[in-house]
Amino acid sequence: MRIGVLAERTGTARRLLRYYEEQGLIIAARGPNGYRDYADAMVDRVLQVRGLLDAGLPTRIIKQILPCLDKPRAIHFPDATPEMIATLEGERDRMTRRAECLLRNRDAIAEYLDAVRAYDG
């Protein structure tokens, strides 16, 4: 698919998609005319990258953990410094706290909706 289609399907600006490609986060084949051609799997990859960026991870770390998101997995550890491991542990813990907070908020909204529906009924 062309970059415009990928941008539309992921809600990501073309400029950001080109940046992700520069950083090695996504891959595009090139047609004879020089246009980028993205595989369908890049839709999920872009959404994964955006989610990790939204979680606060820098692109250099995202690039290292992307193999963990693919199957079959080809994980390489040569750049796994103690600092990177500590950063990832911190991000994992922060994501866990955020997920728990989102679940509590979801449950509170559900309880509110149940109470409103019971009152109206």
Q: CATH code at 71?
A: 1.10.1660.10
Domain shared by 14 and 71, yes or no: yes
Helix (H) / strand (E) containing 19? helix 14-22
- Quickly state the pLDDT bin for 75 (edges 50, 70, 90): low
Residue 74: CB atoms within 10 Å? 8
User: pTM, whole model, 2 decimals?
Assistant: 0.66
Domain shared by 32 and 63, yes or no: yes
Phi, psi (rounded to 5 degrees) for 86: -65, -40
Out of 43, 60, 75, a domain closes at 75
Are 97 and 55 contacting, i.e. CB atoms less than 8 angstroms apart? no
Domain shared by 99 and 67, yes or no: no
Domain shared by 15 and 68, yes or no: yes
Domain shared by 40 and 1, yes or no: yes
Domain shared by 93 and 117, yes or no: yes
Lowest mean pLDDT, pick from 3-7, 80-84, 104-108: 80-84
Domain shared by 41 and 66, yes or no: yes
Domain that residue 8 falls in:
1-75
All residues at 6 or more sequence positions from 40 whose CB lies less than 8 Å from its CB, including other chains: 1
- Quickly state the pLDDT bin for 8 (edges 50, 70, 90): very high
Domain shared by 87 and 64, yes or no: no
